[in-house]
Amino acid sequence: MRVPPVYRRWVTCPVPRPQASLRLFCFHFAGGDASIFRLWTTQLPASVEVCPIELPGRATRRAEPPITQFPELLEKLAGMMLPFVKQLPFALFGHSFGGITAFELARWLRRNGGPMPTRLFLSACPALHLRQAPPSPITHLPDTEFLEEVATRFGTPREVLTSDDVRDTVLPALRADLSVGESYRYQPEPPLDVPISSFGALQDPEVSQQEAEAWQHQTTRDFRLRMFPGNHFFLSAERIRLHKAIVEDLQLPAKKGG
């Protein structure tokens, strides 16, 4: 990718595929990082170049100050992604917090005359027009209370949240991302002229099937809903079925051997 190195801090490409016909940009959930899509880079067909997004304040960018306001995040991210989305056809995949980012990036590109994605994949993310009131703020709480609220809201196992590793490495990024979420305000715009696939989980305490299905009102094109087993974090457990759905919806040849 012939772009300055600073851009590649944001748009990672662990397995470059120069012959790919499409790029899939992947946006992580709150507190996550680009590594959650590591297996995607080799398990999707060779025609897809997977480009996970790495936000500041975590993993390889842990030394950088995190962004805590959604308008700032969107403007910086969009500017860093423009060189990439102009090179190849592309699709956007976002899980939970990443779904908000992917959706608003598509609308930013439309407002600014940029190229549009071939498809938008929104996973564990409620249709945002249904939740115009901001979520109850929790990022001001002390660590113990904050993590308890996270466990209740998203169904995250409490033993995971109370581990030393989470407190040392994930907590700062989680606070930053949820601050971004608390600052987000949905603004009505016309539906996108982009097909949308919505993925939900049957035992998700945060996003109901009705909220996942309501994304159909944000597109003038094809809409598909799939519900998977599991809770809000079905991303890893259902990876194979997610990949199958992505390949089907992008109308790509399946990866040989699986």
Q: What is the pLDDT along the chain (258 residues), one digit of tens a residue?
A: 456 666 789 999 999 999 999 999 999 999 999 999 999 999 999 999 999 999 999 999 999 999 999 999 999 999 999 999 999 999 999 999 999 999 999 999 999 999 999 999 999 999 999 987 777 899 999 998 998 999 888 877 777 777 777 777 889 999 999 999 999 999 999 999 999 999 999 999 999 999 999 999 999 999 999 999 999 999 999 999 999 999 999 987 665 544
- Spatial separation of the C-alpha atoms in residues 156 and 58, rounded to whole Å: 19
- Spatial separation of the C-alpha atoms in residues 5 and 73, rounded to whole Å: 19
> What global pTM score does this model have?
0.93
> Active-site residue among 96, 179, 197, 198?
96
- Spatial separation of the C-alpha atoms in residues 122 and 95, rounded to whole Å: 6
163 tagged catalytic: no
Q: Supply φ then ψ for residue 122, to 5 degrees.
A: -120, 115
**CB under 8 Å to 80, separation ≥6 — which residues?**
6, 7, 10, 11
pLDDT at res. 4: 61
Strand residues in 83-238 grouped as ranges (E): 90-95, 120-123, 196-201, 223-228
Residue 244 tokens read as: 């199958």
- Spatial separation of the C-alpha atoms in residues 82 and 87, rounded to whole Å: 9
Count of C-beta atoms within a 10 Å radius of residue 150: 22
Angle separating helix axes 97-111 and 171-183, nearest 10 degrees: 50
Q: Domains of the chain by range and CATH? A: 5-135+186-250 (3.40.50.1820)
pLDDT at res. 153: 87
pLDDT at res. 257: 47
Q: Supply φ then ψ for residue 32, to 5 degrees.
A: -90, -170
